[in-house]
Structure 1
Amino acid sequence: MESLVQIPPEPLDGLLRTQRREQAAEQDSEQQVNEKYGLERDAEGSNEAVCVDKSSSEHCKGDTEGQELANFNEEEDYVSSYLPITCYSILIALGGLVFGYDIGTIGGLVDLPALSARFGDSVQTGPATFSPIVKGALVSVSCLGGFVSGGVAAKLIPVIGMRCTIFVSMLLYALGNTVILLAPSWEVILVARVFNGVCIGLTTITCPMYISEITPIRERGLFTSLNQLFTTVGIVIGALSILFSATRYYPDDISQYQYPLLQGILLSAIGGVAIWLVPESPDWLVKRSKPISKVKKSLGKLRSLPFDDECIINATAKLFDYNFQMNNIHHLDSKNSTSILKGRPKYFQRTLTGVVLLAFQQFTGINYFFFYGITIFENVELKTPYLVPVIFGVVNLIFSGLSVYVISLFDRKVLLIFGSVSLTLLMAAFTAVGTFCEVNFHVTILLIVLSCLFIAVFSMTWGPIAAVVISELYPPRIKVKAMSVCGSSSWIFSFTIALVIPTLTSKIGFALGGVFALFTFLSIFFVHYLVPETKNVSSTRLDRSYETNPSRFGVVLQK
């Protein structure tokens, strides 16, 4: 996107040199600092920053074609070693681990005899149980917390940064589980689940965004998918925790439901401590006008380069230059530059695209299996229904691991459309078998196989890809706000689905899968016509495509 104003070189040079002089006493004289960190402009006065000593580093080259400041080329995105940045991405993805653990435990937790006997609201014959509506509320109310987290993230991240935001979310999860341990009634558990929901809502927004900002553009999708991978690991750990509790403790022993809660507190504590080992996002440091030395040190750690390396200096200059341009645009058009409704190019359409994309992700019916796998299969011929979520979790983990490789091979839209077609057919088959076939051992095995195939396809397509596309769809100036809106909307859809599934399952049984199959079929057309390809595409190039595209409803981006 072309700049709305011509930015002269002097403001940037003045800003950088002022901050560099603050470090002169620690490094060299003022003249030496300016010579070492100064910026050059090309002959035409371009806004692009280039390396001062072009021969000092073979891997660092300036822009020669006038590309936008934020669109780093391969040389400028150079990483000396991928080991540190991989470790940092893994530490961030521990937030996804806690999210997955919550998914893996909550469906089985409400079915544990010890919990339902103590807090159940329905007493017919035998021990108390939860009615379908209360069970749905206990599972789904955390989604309301996730909805609230969208607004919280939009206000919190710009002020305290992503690292502190993840730390706060881990504290909230530990607090929620602690309240459940001390709860006198199921109503108090509902309140505690809201705290859990705020935590997982913050992590689903912050973790992929954080990873996306600190990783090179070409490997962005690969590293961002680690968050989804760790979410699947958490699901397996959660399912195994419930299986262990159900088989290890007696139904009248409160340790049966306390063990999974205590383990959740431990995981959140690990995630809260580990996040402080990750450097803060350089983009956030620049936006908060932090000292230039901090920005360089952050970039140096992320790229495994000395902080005074020419590529680090050049990348730092570009971050400040880009931020300077964005601030100018914001001052000239303060009402619209960051407005989702009126911002350009097509901010409202792009945000709506993200909202609908995540809606279709929820309406594939994936939580039908993850939240209520025990409920679905409790009336079929299985001796241990608690084993079903473990099977689902393992399948999810295996194919989510494969997705990290698959994502690097295929375009985002190709995987989404393939997923939509496959998931539609599998859910339709699951519905038909469950509705029209008499339940016996062989039919039960077939249903489980179809469920596992569904989860496998979802784990390689809609599971990680929807989140990756959302993290790549928006320019930096509206990224937090737009992703927060998308995340909040997704939680509303998830809440609605999770709330009604127990009631609808008790009424229409397996026929509920037909509804999910219909929505997944419709997603094929949405992805084809309205979702742009974002793989290896910078936000500035995506801006230009939306700006120049004549279509009122979509954007076709050719790589």
Structure 2
Amino acid sequence: MSLEKSDTNLVSVASSTISGTKPQINTRKELFHCLLIALVGCTFGQDMGISPTYQFPSFKHNFKVHNTWINGIIVSIFNIGCATGGIVLSKLSDYYGRKFTICVACCIFLIGCMIQLIPSTHYGQIIAGRFITGLSVGTTAVVAPSFITETVSDPKMRGSAVVFYQFCVVIGIIYGNIVTLITSRKYDLDFNFNNNQWRIPIGFGMIWGLIVLIGMIFVPESKTYYKQKEQKIQNKKMSEEEKVKQQQNNESHHWKETFIGEPRLGFRLLLGCCLMFFQQSSGINYFFYYGSVLFTSVGLNDSYETAVIFSLVNFVGTIAGVYFVSKAGRKIIFLCGCIGGFISMLIYASLGSFALVDSNGAMSKSVGGCMIAFTCIFIICFAISLGPITFVLVSELYPVRTKSLSMGIATNCNWLTNFLITLLTPTITSKIGYKYGYVFAVCLGAAILFTWFLVPETKGLSSEQIDELFMSEKQKEERALFNSSLNSKQINESNASGENINYESSHDCSIDKDISPYVSNEKLETPNIA
């Protein structure tokens, strides 16, 4: 976008403001673009969906994997790649754009898949390939939700639009589960050890990377990125003294601001990290990564079929989540999901620990069926609440100037928690069995208390209003005084120039940009507006 085009857009918006009308917004087109962006979530979902592939006898025979630790590393190294990509590669979006970064991430994803498919008998190849695919997924997990929020003009639609990403993750899980089910039935699980059994699911995952690359052709670059780019062009024209002053006033990308900035940005970062931790420590990936192993021990003949059922339940729950996220408050949905998940996990762990096997050592299929039923209830609770709401709630906690870095750090907590769970689950379940479910129940109980007492409701609030939730009374008074003086100055300038502009319509979007960098350390500094 050129500066001339930007000026034309600004004139168009200003003209609409003067006439009292709102600019035309093509909501359908924006939502279509959001859907194309969100499709990148399928790359993450399909990795979860094909995780039973790494339990196939043909895979273990080819790579000589007969150790629970090695098995845990193969599955969990993906999350280390995600954490690395989320912090390092996601920064490309600030320099080269959101669209370009997603395209690069998709290419990295395809390379990671190809490395896993190279004929070899050493599991190090799989570990390297999964780490590289993790770099891709971690990058897109940070960039895609932000890209979606920047694409939607209507603030009321942003919550539902961000849920598109979670929805596509679920689609990817179903896809991966179905491909795994087909290959498990096509190739004998007991003998012959045909390597196509595990290679086909990995190869089919590459389709999503190609689809997203093609889809990006039709998606325009983020307007926010173009504004940042134009600002950099303006900065290049400044004198050295002006550049120093600009750098002092603008702490958008400064680590110090993220951790100790006001209003209470460090505390808000902690809230986001804890919410991400609770999402993963709920135990959802305990079922999705190792469900086939868990329910084989319950006595099911085809645990891969059960994994498909879980994915479909997750799909239905996510559809409900898309509806509720636009109707109910973020906090109440999160709390209800935690309570439902806590009860379900508690019953699941108790049945598996004390009722599944009788005193004679015989396994009760009816108890196993009840465990599957409560697992489905747990997945529904997660899909409606913790799955989609966590990312929406966390993204709304931060002001624009620190959102990118804060979201990257919070998302890393998500990946690292996921890494620990996927790494330790094979070993822990071999030691304590279904009592492992009590660990997740305790985490859900802690999440309920944490959310009830510390997490604010953010639905329907502007960035300025969310800032005020974390302000002291003194800061609120100073901000109100600043806003009053700013509006008076604008009105006086307007009257002097003979213009009659309705400032009310643009008030909400301008205040956060103008005032946020100046609210710091309990002191409000007045910027030079002249």
Same-fold call, TM cutoff 0.5: yes
Post-superposition offset of 1:538 = 1.9
Which residue of structure 2 aligns with residue 158 of structure 1?
94
Q: Which residue of 2 aligns with 1:511?
A: 435
CA 37–204 in structure 1, closer or farther in 2 if over 3 Å, else same: closer
- Whole-Å Cα distance in 2 between the matches of residues 147 and 168 of structure 1? 17
The aligned residue for residue 446 of structure 2 is 522
Q: d(CA) in 2 for partners of 1:203 and 1:518? A: 31
**Which residues of 2 match residues 399-478 of structure 1 at below 5 A?**
399-437=317-355, 438=357, 439-478=363-402
Structure 2 counterpart of 1:210, one-letter code: F
Q: How far apart, CA to CA, are the structure 1 residues paired with 2:273 and 2:328? A: 23
Q: What is the CA-CA distance between 1:117 and the residue it aligns to?
A: 1.3
Correspondence list, 1:23-102, <5 A: 50-51=14-15, 54-55=18-19, 59-60=21-22, 79=25, 81-102=26-47
**Alignment-derived partner of residue 461 in structure 2:** 537
Alignment root-mean-square deviation, CA: 2.6
C-alpha contact (below 8 Å) 1:330/1:337 kept by paired residues? no
For the 8 Å contact 1:153–1:480, the answer to whether it is kept is no
Range with bigger deviation, 403-412 or 467-476: 467-476
| Alpha carbons 2:253, 2:401 under 8 Å: kept | no
Partners of 2:251 and 2:165 lie apart in 1 by: 34
The 2-side partners of 1:347 and 1:499 are apart by 32
CA distance in 2, matches of 1:82, 1:537: 21
Query: SS of the residue aligned with 1:536?
Result: coil
- Tell me if 1:132 matches 2:68: yes
Partner of 2:105: 169
Offset of 1:136 from its aligned partner?
Answer: 0.9
2:227 counterpart letter in structure 1: V
CA drift at 1:268: 0.9
Q: Deviations over 1:39-79 (max 9, x none)?
A: 9xxxxxxxxx8546733xx642xxxxxxxxxxxxxxx6x63
Q: SS of the residue aligned with 1:372?
A: helix
Size of the aligned set, in residue pairs, is 454
Q: Residue in 2 aligned with 1:205?
A: 142
- AA at the equivalent of 2:391: A
Which has the larger displacement, 531-540 or 231-240? 531-540
Partner residue, 1:146: 82
Distance, in Å, in 1 between the alignment partners of 2:100 and 2:393 is 25
For residue 383 of structure 1, give the secondary structure of its aligned residue in structure 2.
coil
Matched, 1:265 2:206: yes
Partner Cα separation in structure 2 for residue 239 and residue 410 of structure 1: 31
Q: Is the 8 A contact 1:153 1:205 kept in 2?
A: no
Q: Conserved in 1, the CA contact under 8 Å of 2:90 and 2:139?
A: no
CA contact (8 A) 1:336 1:342 kept: no
Given the two structures, how large is their TM-score scaled by the length of structure 1?
0.77
Contact 1:163 1:276 in 2 (8 A): no
Distance in 2, matches of 1:348 and 1:217, equals 25
Aligned to 1:285: 226
Q: Distance in 2 between matches of 1:217 and 1:485?
A: 24
CA distance in 2, matches of 1:486, 1:291: 27
In structure 2, how many angstroms separate the alpha carbons of the residues matched to 1:497 and 1:59?
53
Over 3 Å counting, the alpha-carbon distance change for 1:463 and 1:505 in structure 2 is same
1:531 shift after superposition: 1.6
TM-score normalised by length of structure 2: 0.81
Identity of aligned residues (%): 29
Which ranges in structure 1 are unaligned for 5 or more consecutive residues?
A: 1-15, 25-32, 40-48, 61-75, 123-130, 293-325, 552-559
Letter of the 2:44 counterpart:
F
Structure 1: how far apart are the matches of 2:455 and 2:259?
A: 19
Select between 462-471 and 341-350 the one with higher mean Cα deviation.
341-350
- Aligned partner letter, 1:105: I
Q: CA deviation at 1:154?
A: 4.8
Instruction: State the Cα distance separating 1:120 from its structure 2 match.
Output: 2.4
The CA distance in 2 between the partners of 1:116 and 1:468, in whole Å, is 39
Q: Which residue does 2:275 correspond to in 1?
A: 357
> Does 2:172 align with 1:255?
no
Q: How far is 1:390 from its partner?
A: 0.5
Work out the CA distance in 2 between the residues paired with 1:495 and 1:236.
22
1:336 offset after TM fit, Å? 9.0
